[in-house]
Copies of this chain bind each other. A is one copy, B any other.
């Protein structure tokens, strides 16, 4: 998962659990596919299979939205598509800006899944003057100087940050000051934002690291013959060893610098 909010103890908004909200888009995607195939109704069992979840969970999720099913029959596909879309706020048009038009930013600008679901890329913004005016995904990249103007003129409330880590915090502050209240952050940094602003983060390398953890565990279980003691790295499929030296406990003993207690712990790029 590449997700995490900033503080706020899992707000249960209007009685709909956060976990349920996170699954609604999944259901919506499955339902849309059914709708395109003109399937009129679907049972919780079928839909759950298509969405990759437990059917009881799905029924409970839908129960938070209301009683939209018919016992003995299932759910009306079109009706459910509309209800979920409305609940998620996708019946509105959401203008978004993407800040940081590097490889990732360009990929996001070209990503079809946004416009397909009610999101409209209102502007692409980059700090590099050389990028300004260049066409990306059919739009002209604009310079950071105009960030505030763009936000206000387009009524943007959702911003996507795809800048390097070092610039992310500052960009988020400018976005928020200009009126943005929701941020999707692709930069590998912890953003600190005021209350009332939602941040979701997607960190590509974190996902890979979690996979590596499980991968290592799998490899370790297979070769559960030797190496039961932590300290010896168990080889996976065909991994070239690149082990870090044990870093003796007394490594940082010599230098007895200042108390070091109150350095603001800033993330250097």
* Interface residue ranges, A against B (CB under 8 Å): 1-4, 6, 13-14, 21-22, 24-26, 28-30, 32-41, 46-47, 49-52, 76-79, 81-82, 85-96, 102-104, 106-108, 110-119, 154-158, 160, 179, 181-184, 188, 190, 192, 196, 198, 200, 202-219, 230, 233, 235-244, 246-247, 249-253, 255-268
Number of copies: 2
CB atoms of B251 and A78 under 8 A apart: yes
Given A41-B260, A268-B37, does the pair A215, B252 have CB atoms closer than 8 Å?
A: no
Residues of B within 8 A of A218 (CB): 181, 196
The chain B residue sitting closest to A14, CB to CB, is: B217
Q: Give Cα distance in the complex from A107 to B259, angstroms.
A: 26
CB atoms of B78 and A267 under 8 A apart: no
Residues of B within 8 A of A208 (CB): 94, 96, 114, 117, 119, 158, 160, 184
Pick 29 A–B contacts, CB within 8 A, sort by A. A13-B213, A21-B210, A22-B206, A28-B265, A29-B188, A33-B262, A38-B256, A40-B252, A50-B190, A52-B190, A79-B251, A81-B247, A82-B268, A86-B230, A94-B208, A102-B110, A103-B107, A103-B111, A111-B205, A112-B264, A113-B203, A114-B208, A117-B209, A117-B265, A155-B236, A157-B237, A158-B208, A181-B218, A200-B207
CB atoms of B214 and A263 under 8 A apart: no
Residues of B within 8 A of A116 (CB): 205, 264-266
Residues of B within 8 A of A240 (CB): 93
CB atoms of B204 and A108 under 8 A apart: yes
The chain B residue sitting closest to A13, CB to CB, is: B217
Q: Give Cα distance in the complex from A137 to B236, angstroms.
A: 26
Residues of B within 8 A of A207 (CB): 2-3, 184, 200, 202
Residues of B within 8 A of A78 (CB): 247, 249-252, 268
CB atoms of A46 and B14 under 8 A apart: no
CB atoms of A242 and B92 under 8 A apart: yes
